[in-house]
Amino acid sequence: MVKFVNVGVSFTGGYQALNNVNIEIKSGEFVYIIGKSGAGKSTFLRLIYADLLPTRGVISVEGRDLNLMKRIEVPFLRRQIGVIFQDYKLLENLSVFDNVKLGLDIFYMKRTQAKERIWPLLKRVGMFEKRDDIVKNLSGGEKQRVAVARALINDPKIILADEPTGNLDMENAENIMTVLRECIATGATVIMATHDKLLREKYPSREIELEKGKVIKDGAAYEL
Amino acid sequence: MNSKLTYLFMRGILRFIIMLRSNFLSFITLVTIIFMYHIFFVTGTGTSAFLNHLSEANTIRVYLANNNDIIAAEVLSSVKILDNVSDAKYFSQKDAKAYAVENAPKSAGLESLSEEFFPSFIEITPTNKEPNTLDKIVDEASHLSGVDEVSYGKEYITKYQTISSGAWVFIMVITILFALSVIFVIYNTVKLSLYRFKEEIKLYSLVGATRPFILVPYLFGALFLSFFAYIFSMVIFMAAFAPFNYNVLIPSGINIYNMPSGIYFIISCVIVCIIGVLSSAGSTISFLKQVSSINED
C-alpha cells in the first residue's frame, strides 16, 4: 500500500526533513506518526500525496513508484487519497455542502447527483443539519468534521490526517477518531500524524515515531 | 465528454462574471484599447487608400513647344501610333482653360484668367498604368519634334506611394502595440482572478483536479471577456464614427474614411478572442507553476 525505501528529503540550505526512512504500511492499517514538532511528520505525509518528491530513495503508493510518476498522473493518485489538516483548509465563505462538493466537482458531478453522495456522509459526521451553514460560522470541531467529510467523499483508499485533533477539545477529537476508525472497517488505510498521547492511549494502534527525520520506533502501541 | 465541456463552460461563465464584477476597469480598458484600434485602423487604411488613388497615373501629358494647332496635329498623330497608347486627345489653350475650370470649380478667379496662361497639351491615355509602360511612353514622346515636356507626375506619385506604404507600416506597428496591450490586460485580469481563487485552486489540486479542470474555465472566461469587450467597442465605434464622418468630416471636405467591412470586424474579433484565450492560458499555466502547495503559505 505505502512503502518507503531509504527515503530522504533535504530542503534548501541542507536541512534534512527525513533521513533514510524505511517503512511499509499495509491496507487497512491505522498508523500514528508521532514525534516532536519538526520531526518530519508533515513531510512524511506530503510525500505520500505527491506534494513533495523525495531527494533520495523510493516511495510507492498503491503499487506506483512516485519517483517515476508523471506530473499528469498525480491528480489520479490524489483521488485515491483523502487529506485532513489541523487548520481544516476549508473555504470559509462557502457552505458546508459546497466545501464537501469540491471533491466531486472534479468528476463534473451535478449538484443533484452530488447530494446523493454528500448527504449520507454529512449525516455520518454529524453535520447534516448544518449543511447549508457558511463554514466561517462553525466551531472548530464542526469545521474539522466538514474537513473529514471532504476527505472521505471519494471513498479514498488512504486517509492522511495531519494533526486533525490538534485544535479540538477531547469530545470533538473523539468524534473525529470514531469516524476515522470506522474507515478502517471499509478497508481504508489511515495514517495520522499526532502528538496527542491521550488519544493514542485510548485508541491504541501501530505507532511510527520520528525524530530529526529518522524513524526511531515502529511498532504496536503495546510494544512501545 | 459533452457534459464535461458543458460543466467547464458553465464554470467559465461564472469566472467571466466574477472577473467582470471584481475587475470592471480591466473590461473598460479592453473596450477602450479595441475602440482606439478601430479608429487608427480606419484612419490608416482611409489615408492609404486616398493616397493610392492619388498616385494612380491615368494620363500622360505632352506639353508642346508652341501653341500651334498644325504642329499639335502632327504631334498628335505621331503620339497615337506609339506603343501602349490607347488614346490621345489634343487640348488647345481654350480647351486647357475649360479643363482647368471644370476640374477646379472652387478656385476663385480661374475663369477670369486669360487663355494665354493655359498652355495647350496632348493628353495620352495609356493601355496600362505600369510604371515601365508609362516611362517608355514618356521617353518616346519626349523625342518627338515640337514637344516641350512630357510628364505624368512621377515625382508626386512616388511621394504618395511612399506615404501610403508608411501608413501601412503605421497600421502594422499599431496592430502589434494594441495586441500587446490586449495580451497584457487579459493576462493580468486572469492572474488577479486566479489569486482571488488561490485557495480554491489549491484545494482542487489536493482532491485530484487535473490541469484542464482548472485551466479550461479560465480560457472560457477570457474568451467571453475578449468577445464582449470587442462587441462593446464595435458598437461604440459604429455609433460614434458614422455621425462624426457624415456631420463633421465630409462637410469639411474630408471624404476619405469609410466604415470598415463586416469581414474586418469578423476577422479582428476572432483575432482578439484568440489573443484573449492564449493570454489566459499563459497566465493560468504560469500561475499553476508558481502556486505553492496547499500545505505552504
Query: In chain A, where are the structural domains located?
Result: 27-42+78-223
The letter for the amino acid at B35 is: F
Would you say B293 and B202 are in contact if contact means Cβ atoms under 8 Å apart? yes
* Pairing between β-strand A158-162 and β-strand A189-193 as defined by DSSP bridges: parallel
Note whether A85 contacts B3, CB cutoff 8 Å.
no
* Pairing between β-strand B60-64 and β-strand A64-65 as defined by DSSP bridges: unpaired
Query: pLDDT tens, B200-227?
Result: 999 999 999 999 999 999 999 999 999 9
Distance from CA of A75 to the nearest CA of B (A): 4
Nearest residue on chain A to B292, alpha-carbon basis: A51
Residue B33 has pLDDT above 60, yes or no: yes
Cell digits of residue A2? 505505502
- Write the DSSP assignment of B3-14 as a string of letters: HHHHHHHHHHHH
Would you say B60 and B150 are in contact if contact means Cβ atoms under 8 Å apart? yes
Note whether B206 contacts A89, CB cutoff 8 Å.
yes
Give the integer Cα–Cα distance in Å for B84 and B77.
14
* Pairing between β-strand B85-91 and β-strand B121-126 as defined by DSSP bridges: antiparallel
Which residues touch B4 (CB under 8 Å, ≥6 apart)?
A108
Q: Which fold has domain A27-42+78-223?
A: Rossmann fold (3.40.50)
Task: Give me the pLDDT at residue A223, please.
Answer: 45
- The CATH code that applies to domain B60-152 is 3.30.70.3040
User: How many contacts (CB atoms, under 8 Å) link A and B?
Assistant: 58
| Average pLDDT for runs of 10 along chain A of length 224 | 92 87 93 91 93 92 90 92 91 95 92 93 92 94 92 94 87 88 90 90 92 88 50
In this complex, the residue of A49, A75, A85 whose CB is nearest that of residue B209 is A75
Sign of the Cα pseudo-torsion (A39, A41, A47, A52, in order) = negative
Give the integer Cα–Cα distance in Å for A103 and A81.
11
Tell me if chain B has a CB within 8 Å of the CB of A61: no
Would you say B193 and B23 are in contact if contact means Cβ atoms under 8 Å apart? yes
Domain boundaries, chain B: 2-54+158-290, 60-152
- Provide the ipTM: 0.89
- Residues forming a β-bridge with A220: A206
Task: Give me the pLDDT at residue B293, please.
Answer: 64
* Pairing between β-strand A189-193 and β-strand A214-220 as defined by DSSP bridges: unpaired
Note whether B204 contacts A106, CB cutoff 8 Å.
yes
pTM of the predicted structure, to 2 decimals: 0.81
Nearest residue on chain A to B10, alpha-carbon basis: A108
Residue B297 has pLDDT above 70, yes or no: no
Would you say B197 and B1 are in contact if contact means Cβ atoms under 8 Å apart? no
Show contacts of B174-181: CB within 8 Å, 24+ apart: B174/B37, B174/B40, B174/B41, B174/B44, B175/B37, B175/B41, B178/B33, B178/B34, B178/B36, B178/B37, B178/B40, B179/B271, B179/B275, B181/B33
